[in-house]
Structure 1
Amino acid sequence: MFKRLFFILRLATTWGMAVMLVVALYSSLPLIGDFSAPILLFAFGTLGLVIAGAFSHLHRVRMIAGRIDNETLDNRQKRLIEIPLEAGEAFDLVDAAIRELPGVDAVRSARDSLQVKAKVARPHLYGEPPLRRWNPLLWFAPSHNLLQATVTPAGDSGRVTLICEPESPAWSDWFLVDDGINFENAEAIARAITRRIGERRRSEQASVAQTATEKELTEAKLHLLHAQVEPHFLYNTLASAQLLTRSDPARAEAMLGHLIQYLRRSLPSAEDEMSSVGAELERALAYLEILKIRMGDRLAVQVAVPEALRATPLPAMMLQTLVENAIKHGLEPRTGGGTIWIRAHRDDGLVAVTVADDGEGFNSKTSGTGIGLKNVRERLRLRYAGAANLSVIANFPSGVAATLTVPASGVTPNV
């Protein structure tokens, strides 16, 4: 109640002093100054309209803000808003929020200086006032309000300074009220910024959820693929071992030993997606040893993987997929067989693991469906978010070379 009375008293006193000055000037005029009725009518009418306008202003401010205090009553509003985005992104968000404000006009934005200026048309809240030309609170009222937003970089975030004020000098605030319009504009922009940040966060969360779902689906497809492929490999290996038990028991025993080693390395991958270069190499070599017994002299294997790189984290079964591709599409279709090379080297913070062969190469008859390589690329994308890749090129003088490049630290982004 005290703030309301003080506000009305302040406005009435200011206008009262102005009216007294006008009365004094009027009284000093010759002849006309002798007629006091007109000037008294003007004085009391002006003060009555001022007080009525002050009450209207107080009522509307209370409806908008829900309270009456120095902040809500002020014609000039300032807001400090923290946006958890880089300054350039914060500027784009603020600029878009300002441009959507009703009545906005003459928007000038400078991205280099991170500043937006605009004019906002002052609305006729209650239609065109019938006594507009006689209402002293509207005599000098500007037709527009000014708006300025400045973004200050603050590390990984942007700090917005928002100013909403009438298009008139500060001294006019002693005589004029804005009916809470600038408070309303400041709150509208703050709400718009909050809404846009919320939408951005929901979009990011949806993207993370979608990525996680894609990752799970890819892993499910991979496990399904293994569930389809593994039985054929096992059946063929066991059938070969059964035949060898009659003709060459020693080779049959060696084959079963390699199969046991292969299975020992394969079974844990169902629970743990990440493995290491060393563990994957042992699995691949066990697989190749089995094939060497089946293919005989048609298959040769050369390995050059430094001991220091064998601890490098590597998604399970990726190296195995490249080795199986090299055998199935490169060497098995070739009558004379060939050689498989498995090599690894480090380049700065990356480790490259290459599986090469001198088989058929890129041949439409032996290229297959590409599902295995597609799965590898998709798993790399989901696991490393662009920090790893798979390249497949022609080997010289024949065959194919497939190279996995992954971070040496094995650190993966949060998804």
Structure 2
Amino acid sequence: MEVDGDLMRAVVAEEDRQHSQIELLAPKNYASRATREAFASIVSFTTIEGYPGRRFHAGMVNLDAIERLAIDRAKQLFGCSYANVQPHSGTQANQAVFYALLESGDNVLSMSLRDGGHLSHGLRSNFSGKWFNVANYGVDKNSGLIDYDAVREIARKHRPKLMVVGGSSYPRRIDFERFKQIADECGSYLLADISHFSGLVAGGVHESPFPHAHVVTSTTNKNLRGPRGGIILCDDEGLGKKLDSALFPGIQGGPLPEYISAKAVAFKEALSVEFKEYAQAVLRNARTFCSVLSSAGYDIVTGGTDTPLVMVDLRSVGLTGDVAAESLEAAGIPCNKNLVPGDPEGPRTTSGLRFGLSAVTTRGFRDEATRDIAEIVVDVLDGVRKAGAGDAQVEKSAKDRVELLARRYPIYLRA
């Protein structure tokens, strides 16, 4: 019996879109069937508050078991002694850390949004920038890499109570040990937000922030291939108690048990040998994608990548990110416009593009297929350069090639 035909048509249209396109959005990925079944299970009808063994509702014995599974697997996955699996998102995980460690008006040091940071790390229009006194560090204007000496100089001047590393568009490895040295000099806590490469950390192809960071946060839906949500990790029992209280009842009410269930499944999958192979393939694909675009004359921010992210600076070819992203979407390749270091444009226009290779790797893309999609991206961008806007004929040709690739590497959503 059909209950809501309008909604069904929208969902089916979205399913068709995802199957026919190749998405290169950095946060994008696909959860396994088992993970999807977990967050569509009967536990979604349960309301819970508090933590395992310390709930405020009756009938929690099975929910306690589920959450303990997720906690234990997260700790094993990242090699730490504490995990909170309740945050609804990475941003709320960061909010809980700020709430646990800081008082309103305390000093914070984080990477600027224009250089690769994240809005929840101190953007003025975000709570983190309104409640705290935030200073920013950036990257070297020539290399695009973090200038650690400059970071130390800013930290000594600002004396932050919390330093934040990680972000949404910095593609290179972070020297966590060096950041910890700077934090120690200033008596600061160190928070590592590894949302865009936590799957690579779990898979052993990116350095772990432990034992250097005091607290680690991440989303669970990017290259961890879980449901949308967040986690908080640390290796200090006393600090863990503060983080628990900061999340609940501090900034968040009851968690979503269906998503905790799905996180448990995703963490188990991430502990497998197959996931380690996946993480290696993500990094290999990202570097292959970089190589193709670079060879075609497009500037890669920092000259490469150590993560699933590929950042392209379009200034040397006279393009803006908004026009380029619009044409790529018309060709069936969603990505996003993005600020790049030294960007003269605003966030609605930008001079760059941000690509992520996590989702296509899940679909089965490896070297040849990654080169194929990168070459299609180049053709579309070349078309924009020649026409000054999206070239409809180029976009149509590219879309046909994308649909062929999509059929060769289907999403496993359909039975």
What band does the TM-score fall into relative to the shorter chain? under 0.3
Bigger radius of gyration: 1
Comparing both chains, which one has the higher relative contact order based on Cα–Cα distances under 8 Å and sequence gaps of 6 or more? 2
Q: Which has the higher helix share?
A: 1
Q: Which has the higher strand share?
A: 1
Tell me the TM-score normalized by structure 2: 0.17
